[in-house]
Structure 1
Amino acid sequence: MTVKEIAAQVEALAPLHHAEDFDNVGLLVGRPDMEVTGVLVTLDTLEAVVDEAIARGCNLILSFHPILFKGLKRLTGKTYVERVVARALENQIAIYSIHTALDNVPGGVNGALCQALGIQDPSILIPKKQGIKKLVTYVPKAHTPTLLDALFAAGAGSLGHYSQCSFRLEGEGSFLPSVAANPALGTPGTLQREPEDQLHLTFTADREASVLAALFRTHPYEEVAYEVTTLENDYNHLGMGMIGSLEAPLGPEAFLEHLKQVLGTPCIRHSALPETPVQRVAVLGGSGAFAIEAAKAAGADAFVTGDVKYHQFFQAEGKLLIADVGHYETEQFTKRLLCDYLSEKIPNFAISLSETKTNPVNYF
């Protein structure tokens, strides 16, 4: 398989279009047409991880965090980033990162964290904005079923647990083909009136290219009349963080002990302990302090994340327990998720889970 083919499998789980604008995702080092001898899955791409890939005969590193986040102006080996990139290039190893594209999908980073912590029936905490688009087009009535089938197959009309959703209005279209036109219906130079259906279908933003390709490929008209608009509706099946409930409430101290046991951390930074038990829990893997207000608004008893700053703990305001369990700790299940997913999608192919410890934070 090539890098591009394996990337397509990863992007079926977490389309790159779902990544945040500030992020740097996709193929960072290497060629998309390179044949892959093996895949090493890791959370971070460090020099030791590249060495592990060499030792295991893997020439593609699938990393959650991107090693290249800002532009490089030189490759002199002065920084760890430069050394990683140079060593990968020297050994013809490709590096691919998925990062916030996987943060934003329900079955990604936060879904794995919810599963580990026993959080049931989780839903998106902060729905992604402008994640839904709508197509409006006009088609001769006789061609409506064929066009709808093609659009459905391309992903239009699918939102959440529903598919093949559309709305249709009947009307009459009119057009005057010029003498240079080659109309599917009517005659050049003659005004044509045709019974048509106006079709409305919504789709997720990452499907736009495939939906439009299906429209142009299937529509009978030489010139297709259509509109694509971006909706302001929240897309509740995509976004940052998740919130759900524990099977049974826990006292604040017992809840923190539960976090320590599951996440394997010796200490937790947290806000003042509430007097009420914890049952409804919000999570956001990595640096998630920006979601504290969203967790409060959603009625969370506790919010589990990493990288909370001093003044951000004040935002608890006695309304929820903020638990900073660490950046790595909240994302540690991600590489297993990716490894298991790829192993299922590409059986009998060398997919390896990195054994290199990449957490830069140590505890004394």
Structure 2
Amino acid sequence: MIVQDVINQLHDLAPLAYAEDFDNVGLLVGDKNQEVTGILVTLDTLESIVDEAIDNDCNLIVSFHPIIFKGLKKLTGKTYVERVVIKAIQHNIAIFSIHTALDNAIQGVNDIICNQLGLNNKKILIPQSGTIKKLQTYVPKEHAESLRKALFEVGAGSIGNYESCSFNIDGEGTYLGNENSNPVIGEKGKLHTENETAISVTFHKHLESIVLKTLFNTHPYEEVAYEITTLENTNQHIGIGMVGELETKMDAKSCLKFIKNKMNTECIRHSEILDKPVKKIAVLGGSGSFAINAAKASGADILVTADLKYHDFFTAEKSIILADIGHYESEQFTKSFLVDYLSEKITNFAPALPAGRIILSKISTNPVKYL
């Protein structure tokens, strides 16, 4: 098994196409074709993490946060980022980061928090837009069924809980091939009219390359006429943050203590405690001040997130409780989730790499300490 095989499994869980534009996800250090001897999973890649990988004969680090976030102009070992990259290269260790791709995945960071809190009726808090595309193409009527089937097999035509969705219109297509053409149907230099079917299917944007490859490989024409448009529809299965409901209502103070216990945090910074029961909770792992208005609009009683600033707490305005549990604390369960996911997927895919070679880092990389 090579590094790219592991990346493919992670891509199935959280396609990198849905990472935020500001992010730096993917293979940051190393050769994608390198054979994997072991995988170390961590939240952050520090020098101590690289040492841990060396000690455990792991030549691939799967890290939630990217060690390289801004551009590096030199590698002199002056900063911790440079030292990590240098040491990883010296020991042929690849580093892969999944970060906001997993934040935006339906079974990602925020789903993990919801499960930790035992929330039901989970929904994406801020669905992504621009992630659904539509293909329209025109094919001879007798080839329409085989083309639809091929497109469905690679994931096109999936809408929510439905599959094999398409819209089809029968009509006449015309074309006139020049002297350099080689028409499959008709003759070059002669205007040809063909009974055709216009097929429209939607697909998730990360599938565009395989959808187009399938179209070109299956379509009978020498020149394939097609259009791809990006839809404005929001995607209810991709987006950041989640909102869910407790099994039973709790008073606000008890709920904050419950969250503190379940999220294994030493303290919670919170806005004013409101005198109303808590049922609906919004969550957003990592820095989440931008989600305050969305949490309010969802009807959430509490927003669980991190990195709130002083003035952010004023925006609660007695309509919601803002609970800052700490950045590391909000994402700490992510690495255990990734170990479990990879252990299941990779041992089935590549039995030669036993589950014991997928290692959960024992090092806490939390830079924030409490007195």
Aligned AA (1:122): K
Correspondence for 1:352 among 352, 359, 366? 359
How far apart, in 2, do the equivalents of 1:81 and 1:281 lie?
36
SS at match of 2:201: strand
Mapped partners of 2:106, 2:254: distance in 1:
27
Aligned mates of 1:47, 1:182 — CA distance in 2: 60
One-letter identity of the residue aligned with 2:369: N
Q: How big is each residue's C-alpha offset from its partner over 1:226-275, in whole Å with a ceiling of 9 and x where there is no partner?
A: 10001111111100100110111111111100111111112100010111
Equivalent in the alignment of 1:161:
161
Q: CA deviation at 1:190?
A: 1.6
In the superposition, the TM-score normalised over structure 2's length comes to: 0.97
Residue correspondence of structure 1 range 182-193 to structure 2 within 5 A: 182-193=182-193
* Aligned-partner SS, 2:23: coil
User: Structure 2 counterpart of 1:184, which letter?
Assistant: V
- Report matched runs for 1:27-66 at 5 Å: 27-66=27-66
Aligned to 1:292: 292
Aligned length: 364
State the 1:159 CA deviation. 2.6
Residue 87 of structure 1, CA deviation: 1.0
Deviations 1:268-315 (A, max 9, x none): 000101111111111000001100000001111110000001101111
Residue 11 of structure 1: aligned partner: 11
Q: Report the Cα distance in structure 1 between the residues aligned to 2:266 and 2:8, rounded to whole angstroms.
A: 38
In the TM superposition, residue 44 of structure 1 has moved relative to its aligned partner by 0.4
Question: What pairs up with 1:1-364 in 2 under 5 angstroms?
Answer: 1-347=1-347, 348=351, 349=353, 350-364=357-371
Unmatched tracts of structure 1, length 5 or more: none
Kept in 2: contact 1:306–1:326 (CA 8 A): yes
Shift of 1:121: 1.8
Q: Cα distance, 1:179 vs. partner?
A: 2.8
Q: Distance in 2 between matches of 1:159 and 1:75?
A: 47
- Aligned AA for 2:258? H
Q: Which amino acid aligns with 1:37?
A: T
Counterpart-to-counterpart distance in 2, 1:105 and 1:141: 38
Cα shift at 1:191: 1.3
> What code does the residue aligned with 2:226 have?
Y
1:351 maps to a residue whose letter is I
Equivalent position amino acid for 2:368 in 1: V
What RMSD in Å do the two structures reach over aligned CA positions? 0.9
- Residues 318-342 of structure 1: CA deviation (Å, up to 9, x unaligned): 1111100011111111111111111
For 2:189 and 2:10, how far apart are their aligned partners in 1?
A: 51
Shift of 1:160: 2.5
Larger deviation, residues 288-297 vs 346-355: 346-355
Amino acid at match of 2:56: R
Single out whichever of 131-140 and 156-165 deviates more from structure 2.
156-165
Cα distance in 2 for residues equivalent to 1:177 and 1:90: 58
CA offsets per residue over residues 85-116 of structure 1, 9 Å max, x none?
A: 11111111110000000000110000111000
- Specify the SS of the correspondent of 2:106: coil
Structure 2 letter corresponding to 1:202: T
List per-residue Cα deviations over 1:195-253 (Å, max 9, x = no partner).
11111100111111111110011000111111000111111110010011011111111
Which shifted more, 158-167 or 3-12? 158-167
Q: Which amino acid aligns with 2:147?
A: L
Q: Secondary structure at the match of 1:180?
A: coil
Q: CA deviation at 1:155?
A: 1.5
Rounded to whole Å, the distance in 2 between the matches of 1:162 and 1:222 is: 32
SS at match of 1:346: helix
* Identity, % of aligned positions: 58
Paired amino acid for 1:211: V
Q: Deviations over 1:51-88 (max 9, x none)?
A: 11011110100000000000112222211111111111
Cα distance in 1, alignment partners of residues 368 and 272 from structure 2: 24
Cα distance in 1, alignment partners of residues 259 and 98 from structure 2: 26
Are 1:159 and 1:204, in contact at CA under 8 Å, matched by a contact in 2?
no
Secondary structure, counterpart of 1:261 in structure 2: helix
What letter is aligned with 1:30?
Answer: G
SS at 2:292 equivalent: helix
Query: Partner amino acid for 1:359?
Result: N
In structure 1, what is the Cα distance between the partners aligned to 2:244 and 2:264?
Answer: 22
Query: 1:123 Cα deviation (Å)?
Result: 0.7
Distance 2:184 2:268 in 1: 68
**Contact kept in structure 2, 1:61 and 1:96, CA below 8 Å:** yes
The letter for the 2-side match of 1:355 is K
Assess if the C-alpha contact under 8 Å between 1:29 and 1:89 holds in 2: yes
C-alpha displacement at 1:180, in angstroms? 2.2
Normalising by the residue count of structure 1, what TM-score does the alignment of the two structures yield? 0.99
Cα shift at 1:188: 1.3
What code does the residue aligned with 2:67 have?
Answer: I
Aligned mates of 1:177, 1:265 — CA distance in 2: 70
Deviation string, structure 1 residues 161-181 (Cα, Å, up to 9, x no partner): 221111111111111122321
Counterpart residue type for residue 367 of structure 2: P
